[in-house]
């Protein structure tokens, strides 16, 4: 059975459509008397042969079969090939719209009425007419069902293809967002820690002859900063894996770690004063990480772009719905290239603030110095984006 089905699936549709005309012609050739054979064979051919092209031109084939049936009615010949009318009606209903189906069904119904008036015996008109009508309705309904099922399957396939395309697009967007997040995290971690290490190394070189004890302290701080950088990188990359234990051993930095950050900046040569107002225990971890990275980047920029003796101030205002971040320094205004950097510093800060519905302002202050200000909205749904 499987082999036969496989062999049958290899045949083109035209071969299957030619099967019924072939059987009808063989039936006429084998059952008709010699004197009736030419007329019956011609009419059967006119009725059946158009069915070979019924899939390509349903309405044209239906018209040809209907014309042949009308000629058959005029010459008063009854043939088994009249079944071709039902096949043509089914094909028209399966491949055309509602209007074409109704017109074809009306034509067949009119033909059934004429056939019953012409060939039905006296007193037996109703039974054959009802039977022919039922067969015509069945053929039309079957064709409509096939057309509806085909359209439904096509819609499902289109929807599945669209969903697959949308999933691929979402996957590409997720990959792009993840790459952006990793780039932003690596930039903040590497830039900050390297800037601190460079500042401490310069201080150690400067003090190696004048104050050896301070040189030792600075180099120890360089070592500690390097280890902290490795820990931060391991933690950030560990978040990509669910089985990475370092992500749990080293929690995300937050507002509570800003004091350590301020002390680190003081050691690197940027005296920093920290003010935190309001409780922050209710703030999500991702929002606290955003605050920490904003302050870290702002202080790193101040350390890199301001001269010795500059002071920085960090003010954090926490409320139930917002977190306000202000980082200012007393140094001179940044040069143009620092105010509009081509790297990831300020753009990355803007991205972090935008994830929580905030707008970042970074620029020179009226009284001198540089300031960074933003307000994060805790109910903006930015945790997922951050």
- Confidence (pLDDT) at 383: 47
Angle (nearest 5°) at CA 311 between 307 and 314? 130
Q: Which range is least confidently modeled, 11-20, 126-135, 157-166, 272-281? A: 11-20
Query: What is the Cα–Cα distance from 294 to 372, expressed in whole angstroms?
Result: 9
Spatial neighbors of 363 by CB under 8 A, at least 6 apart, are: 339, 370, 371
Instruction: Specify the pLDDT at position 17.
Output: 76
> What is the pLDDT averaged over residues 124-143?
88
Q: State mean pLDDT over 305-311.
A: 85
Helices (H), 53-125: 58-75, 83-95, 98-119
* Least confident among 222-226, 309-313, 365-369: 222-226
pLDDT at 316 over 90: yes
First to last CA, the chain: 60
Residues sharing a CB contact under 8 Å with residue 372, sequence separation 6 or more, in sequence order: 294, 298, 325, 326, 327, 328, 349, 360, 361, 362
Q: In the numeric block, which tokens belong to residue 242? A: 């669910």
Burial class from Cβ neighbours inside 10 Å (0-12, 13-18, 19+) for residue 344 reads middle
Question: Over the chain, what is the mean pLDDT?
Answer: 80
Closest CA to 230 of 198, 197, 259: 197
Q: What are phi and psi of 328, to 5 degrees?
A: -130, 155
Q: Name which residue leads in pLDDT, 219 or 127.
A: 127
- Give which of 259, 253, 295, 268 is closest to 195, Cα–Cα: 268
The predicted structure's pLDDT at residue 69: 87
CATH of 270-386 among 3.30.565.10, 3.40.50.170, 3.30.70.2610, 3.40.50.10950:
3.30.565.10
**What are the structural domain ranges in the chain?**
2-119, 270-386
Q: Can you tell me the mean pLDDT for 301-330?
A: 90
> What is the model's pLDDT at position 235?
65
Q: Using 50, 70 and 90 to split pLDDT, how confident is the model at 3? A: low
**Residue 275 — very low, low, confident or very high, per pLDDT cuts 50/70/90?**
very high
Q: Between 160 and 386, whose confidence is greater?
A: 160
Reported confidence tier of residue 205, pLDDT bands at 50, 70, 90: confident
Distance between CA atoms of residues 228 and 105, nearest Å: 83
CA-CA distance, 101 to 140, in Å (whole number)?
Answer: 7
Residue 319 has pLDDT above 60, yes or no: yes
Closest residue by Cα to residue 98 from 144, 57, 139:
144
Q: Which of 3-17, 121-135, 210-224 has the lowest mean pLDDT?
A: 3-17
Kindly report the pTM of this predicted structure: 0.49
Mean local confidence (pLDDT), 174-197: 73
Residue of 335 and 30 predicted with greater confidence: 30
Model confidence band, residue 340 (pLDDT cutoffs 50, 70, 90): very low
User: pLDDT exceeding 70 applies to what percent of the chain?
Assistant: 83
Indicate the pairing of strand 272-277 with strand 312-318: parallel
Note the pLDDT tens digit of each residue in 229-244: 676 666 666 555 545 5
Q: Which two tokens stand for residue 129?
A: 């007419």
Per the model's pLDDT, the better-predicted residue between 334 and 97 turns out to be 97
Contacts of 346 (CB under 8 A, 6+ apart): 297, 301, 340, 360, 362
Beta strands across the sheet bearing 361-364: 272-277, 312-318, 322-329, 370-377, 361-364
Q: Answer yes or no: is pLDDT of 298 > 70.
A: yes
Range name among 145-149, 266-270, 322-326 with the lowest pLDDT average: 266-270
Q: Which residue has the higher pLDDT, 166 or 125?
A: 166
pLDDT at 339: 42
Sign of the C-alpha dihedral computed for residues 333, 337, 341 and 345 taken in this order: negative
CA dist 321 and 282 (Å) reads 10
E strands of the chain, at which residues?
272-277, 312-318, 322-329, 361-364, 370-377
Mean pLDDT, rounded, for 71-84: 84
Range of 21-25, 136-140, 211-215, 240-244 with top mean pLDDT: 136-140
Q: What's the pLDDT score for residue 251?
A: 65
Which residues lie below 8 Å from residue 224, measured CB to CB, with a gap of 6+?
none
Higher pLDDT, 370 or 10: 370
Query: How far are the Cα atoms of 93, 222, 262, 364 from residue 271, in angstroms, in the given order?
Result: 85, 17, 8, 19
Contacts of 242 (CB under 8 A, 6+ apart): none
Burial of 347 (0-12, 13-18, 19+ CB in 10 A): middle
Q: Which distant-in-sequence residues (6+ apart) come within 8 Å of 180 by Cβ?
A: 351
- State mean pLDDT over 20-38: 80
Confidence of residue 337 (pLDDT cuts 50, 70, 90): very low
pLDDT at 6 over 50: yes
């Amino acid at each position: 059975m499987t082999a036969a089905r496989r062999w049958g699936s290899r045949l083109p549709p035209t071969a299957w459509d030619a099967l019924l005309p072939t059987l009808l012609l063989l039936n006429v050739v084998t059952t008709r008397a010699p004197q009736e054979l030419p007329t019956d064979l011609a009419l059967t051919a006119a009725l059946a042969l158009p069915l070979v092209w019924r899939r390509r031109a349903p309405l044209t084939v239906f018209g040809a079969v209907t014309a042949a049936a009308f000629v058959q009615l005029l010459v008063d010949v009854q043939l088994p090939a009249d079944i071709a009318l039902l096949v043509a009606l089914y094909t028209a209903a399966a491949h055309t719209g509602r209007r074409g189906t109704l017109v074809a069904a009306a034509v067949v119904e009119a033909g059934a009425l004429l056939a019953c008036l012409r060939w039905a015996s006296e007193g037996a008109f109703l039974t054959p007419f009802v039977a022919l009508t039922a067969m015509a309705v069945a053929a039309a309904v079957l064709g409509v069902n096939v057309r509806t099922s085909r359209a439904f399957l096509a819609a499902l396939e289109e929807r599945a293809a669209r969903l697959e395309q949308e999933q691929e697009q979402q996957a590409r967007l997720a990959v792009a967002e993840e790459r952006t997040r990793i780039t932003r995290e690596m930039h903040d971690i590497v830039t900050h820690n390297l800037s601190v290490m460079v500042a401490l190394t310069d201080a150690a070189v400067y003090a190696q002859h004048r104050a050896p004890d301070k040189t030792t302290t600075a180099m120890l701080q360089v070592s500690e900063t390097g280890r902290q950088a490795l820990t931060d990188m391991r933690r950030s990359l560990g978040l990509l894996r669910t089985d990475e234990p370092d992500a749990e051993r080293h929690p995300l930095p937050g507002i509570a770690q800003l004091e350590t950050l301020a002390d680190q900046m003081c050691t690197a040569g940027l005296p920093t004063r920290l003010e935190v107002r309001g409780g922050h225990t209710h703030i999500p971890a991702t929002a606290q990480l955003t605050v920490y990275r904003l302050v870290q980047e702002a202080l790193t920029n101040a350390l890199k772009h301001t001269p010795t003796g500059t002071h920085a101030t960090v003010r954090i205002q926490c409320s139930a719905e917002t977190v306000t971040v202000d980082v200012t320094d007393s140094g001179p205004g940044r040069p143009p290239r620092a105010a509009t950097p081509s790297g990831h510093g300020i753009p990355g800060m803007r991205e972090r603030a935008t994830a929580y519905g905030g707008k970042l302002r970074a620029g020179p202050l009226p009284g001198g110095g540089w300031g960074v200000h933003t307000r994060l909205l805790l109910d903006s749904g930015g945790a997922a984006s951050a």
